[in-house]
Amino acid sequence: MDKETNSKQIRVKIADVEIRGAAALAPMAGCSDLPFRELCREFSASYTVTEMVSAKGFILGDRKSDELMTLGKNEHPAAIQLFGSEPQIMARAAEKALRFSPDIIDINMGCPATKIIKGMAGSSLMRDTALAGRIVKEVASAVSLPVTVKIRAGWNKDSINAVEMAKVCEQNGAAAICVHGRTKDQMYAPPVNLDVIKAVKESVSVPVIGNGDIETPEDAKRMLEYTGCDLVMVGRGALGRPWIFKIINEYLESGVLIDEPPVKERMGIMLEHIERLCRYKGEYIGMLEARKHAAWYTKSLKGASLYRRELSMVKTFDELKKISERIIEEQT
């Protein structure tokens, strides 16, 4: 499957930032790093967001933050995502993040991880819309870039308040809202609530991005048509499948359903991905991180569990290359 540039058609504008193509890459901690984001962009992802960065950690000089915030030269439009619970610290971090030249600052108000919740950040803010509003206002006042917010449907099934949260964020300066159609309590369990994404779209005037369980081009079309959202954001559906963005965009633009790439091509894309990981992070770290990605690339193959076991112990790029050659031979 050949890589291609994004569609020339402007899908939506977030303030003055033009986004072309309907499918964006979601921020995923430990997954959507620079090598993966670059690869997804080459397969027509319309927009990318960094892994979430602790505002407090960044202000205090955490060395990991710089790596998380570094954008590729061809990775625009792109957002840096911050998380935290203190409005002034979030604002200072947003100002400081400008040196990485993002197009957008995104605020995480949807992460359900216990560690983030304990710090009163992420989806914990779904329970405190007043604080959420203050955070958005401080950040939007501190930077000239558009500020967006990623939220969930609510805290739990008895507290579905995404519409209220979206309105508060818009009133305090948010230029777009991304809605993950699950509650915090659901984590990543089904179902995704398309009705709540639709309700948010109908309640605000800024662009709305729909997120949750986009695994196929049909999923993307269904969400766009049912909810009226402006973009879809693909997360776990892109892991081991960076080409999903090209498939989605082609289907939405022409109605043509492109096949998933054959095994030989898939392994070639995997090796290109892992080579970038090693180039950016060094072979030792790159190959440690490669293990999970390699497992995702082999997910749908016959005997995938055996491959995953072997890939979970791979230490060098040469080892990975030999395993991929054997996979091609066994699968074709």
Distance CA 36, CA 48 (A): 10
Residue whose tokens read 């800024």: 206
User: Collapsing DSSP states into helix, strand and coil, what is residue 14?
Assistant: strand
Query: Which of the 8 DSSP states describes residue 106?
Result: E
Which amino acid appears at position 83 of this protein? F
Tokens of 206: 């800024």
User: Collapsing DSSP states into helix, strand and coil, what is residue 239?
Assistant: coil
Antiparallel, parallel or unpaired: β 176-183 and 147-154: parallel
* 107 neighbors 83 (Cβ within 8 angstroms): yes
Is 111 marked active-site? yes
Instruction: Specify burial of residue 101 (Cβ count, 10 A radius: 0-12, 13-18, 19+).
Output: middle
Of the CA atoms within 13 Å of residue 186, those in its CB half-sphere come to 22
* 170 neighbors 205 (Cβ within 8 angstroms): yes
* 43 neighbors 15 (Cβ within 8 angstroms): no
DSSP letters of 27-68? P-TTTS-HHHHHHHHHBT-S-EEPPPEEHHHHHTT-HHHHHH
Tokens of 309: 């076991």
Rg of the Cα atoms in the chain: 19
Distance CA 6, CA 231 (A): 14
Which residue in the list 31, 111, 229, 278 is annotated as catalytic? 111
Residue whose tokens read 């405190």: 128
- Just list the catalytic residues: 111
